[in-house]
Structure formats: structure tokens, C-alpha cells
Amino acid sequence: MAKEPSDSPDDAERTAAPSFRERLTATFLRPPDLTKADDKKRPTTDAELKAKINQLDPTERKIGYWGAGLAAFLAIVFTYPYIANPKKGISITAALSHNHTCPKGYEKKMVSGSVQCVSELFHSRPYWVFNLIVLLLFAGALLLTTRINRRAALGFATLMTGLAFETLLAQFGGYGLLGLPYLFLGGWLIVRAWRAQRYGTTNAKEAAQAAAEQRAEKKAARQGGSTTSATRSAKTTKSTAKGSTKGSTTGSSRPTPVASKRYTPKSPPKKKTTRST
């Protein structure tokens, strides 16, 4: 038997394993597309539609990974200097009293061109280690919920991460505002998850159109129900009228009583009696 010709170089390149960069891109930037070209032409099954509704799209997936990385970065930046040097204090400020004096433990200092009461707050190393672990746990929750590919879970984890950063970073002054983007993104993801569950789409225009169609269907159903009730009541009234007419006809069809044929003589008139005087 003749040997089969070997594959061409182009075929070898197409069948080669993906590079390390391609694997990283497929893992962290977009979900793998396992569907074949022929499968994309067939109708979408219920399971695929449910997965499309519940799972993240590429944009949400990128937000989840970037949010997890940023949360881990912020946790290390804000806590590691105090873990390495617990004697480093946090500057806290207080307002001057009515007699322009500072509370106990505060000193007058110029801050941003104004006189304020400033004090140094010190914490132990275990305190900062605990804060670092908590913030890293929330960053890990973002990574995990992104990996399991669930929109509602990622939205809830993002909301909780925002609350944690807003609470723990508030001790550094205005840095607690760094939790606001996570709160906004968490609310946005939860709204999209609710929209997908209710209307089958995350697009605002399509969801509004689906809501209008549902309202129109409910209105038509209510009108149909009222028409059916009116028809039913009309039939009931008609049947009642028929029954009453039948009763009256039956009553009028009864034979009238006939006078007796027996002769009864008239009674004689009574005589008038006159009294004698």
C-alpha cells in the first residue's frame, strides 16, 4: 500500500498548540468559545439560553478580573507599610473648639493652609495583618465569582468588596471613597442580573421593549376577562328573562274558573217595619 502524504506546513501550524499568551488571553480576558461553526447555525437550546442569561459576558468578565487585581493591589499598598513598620502612625484630624483649642492628645498644625488639630494613631502589627487578610479575602471572592462565571454572584461580591474598602480605608482619611466604584459596579451587575432573569436580556432597550410587551399582554388579558364576564352576565340575564317569561306564560295559560250552572233564587227584599207612635 502506498503511504499517505504527510501534512503540509500550513496544516501543522493550524494544529499546533496555542501559545502561552493565547492561553492567558483565553483564560483571563474572554470565556473560551467551545461551539463549532456548524453548532452556531442551529437554534439555541433552553440550556444554552439559560447559560447565556446567568453567565458573564466578556465585558463583565474583564471587569471582574480587573476589579480583583485592583482590590489586591490596594490592600497591599495600604497595609504593608504599617505591617513592616508598626510604629508608623496614621494622622487623624479634629476641628478646633469654640475657644480655638484642640482636644486632648491633638496638636495644632497647618494642614492645606488652615490650622487643624492633628494627632497620630498607632496600631499593632496583628491589626494591620488582619486588615490585609480581610481585604485579600474580598479580592479572592471577586476572582472566584468571576471564575465560576455567575453574574449575580459577582455583583454581590463586588458590593461587599466596596463596603469593606469604604469601611477599612476610611481610617486613612478620604481614601474610603475608593470603595465607591465597587459599590457602583456591584449595583450595575445586580441590575443586569435581574434584567436578564426577568426579560431574558441585559440590554436596557430590549428589556424596556419586553416590559412594554408584557404590559400589553396583561392589559389584553384583563380586557378579555372583562369581555368574558360581560358575555357571561348577559347570558345569565337572558336565561333569567326566558325563565320569567315562561313562568308568566304558564300562569296565564291556566283555565279560568267557570260559573256554576245551578240556579240560586234571589232572596226577597226585606220589608220595612214602621213603628207606631
Burial of 144 (0-12, 13-18, 19+ CB in 10 A): middle
Rounded CA separation 215/222 (Å): 11
pLDDT at 33: 53
Q: What mean pLDDT do residues 164-180 have?
A: 83
| Whether the predicted pLDDT of 182 surpasses 60 | yes
pLDDT at 249: 47
Single-letter code of the amino acid located at 190? I
> Sorting pLDDT into bands at 50, 70 and 90, what band is 267?
confident
* Burial letters 69-99, b for 16+ CB under 10 A, else e: ebbbebbeebbeebbeeeeeeeeeeeeeeee
pLDDT at 93: 73
| Whether the predicted pLDDT of 6 surpasses 90 | no
Domain layout of the chain by residue ranges: 49-86+124-224, 88-122
pLDDT at 269: 73
| Whether the predicted pLDDT of 134 surpasses 90 | yes
Q: How long a stretch of residues is the chain?
A: 277
pLDDT at 203: 72
Place of cell 378579555: 224
Q: What mean pLDDT do residues 162-187 have?
A: 86
Q: What mean pLDDT do residues 176-193 have?
A: 89
| Whether the predicted pLDDT of 195 surpasses 80 | yes
Provide the mean pLDDT of the chain.
75
pLDDT at 224: 74
> Sorting pLDDT into bands at 50, 70 and 90, what band is 18?
confident
> Sorting pLDDT into bands at 50, 70 and 90, what band is 133?
very high
First vs last C-alpha separation in the chain: 171
Q: pTM of this prediction?
A: 0.57
Q: What mean pLDDT do residues 33-46 have?
A: 55
Single-letter code of the amino acid located at 112? S
pLDDT at 66: 94
Q: What mean pLDDT do residues 221-226 have?
A: 74
Q: Which of 86-95, 172-181, 266-275 has the lowest mean pLDDT?
A: 266-275
| Whether the predicted pLDDT of 244 surpasses 60 | no
Q: Cα-flanking dihedrals φ and ψ of residue 53, to 5°? A: -70, -45
pLDDT at 235: 62
| Whether the predicted pLDDT of 239 surpasses 70 | no
| Whether the predicted pLDDT of 72 surpasses 90 | yes
Rounded CA separation 198/191 (Å): 11
| Whether the predicted pLDDT of 163 surpasses 70 | yes
pLDDT at 200: 75
- For the four alpha carbons of 166, 167, 169 and 172, in that order, the dihedral sign comes to positive
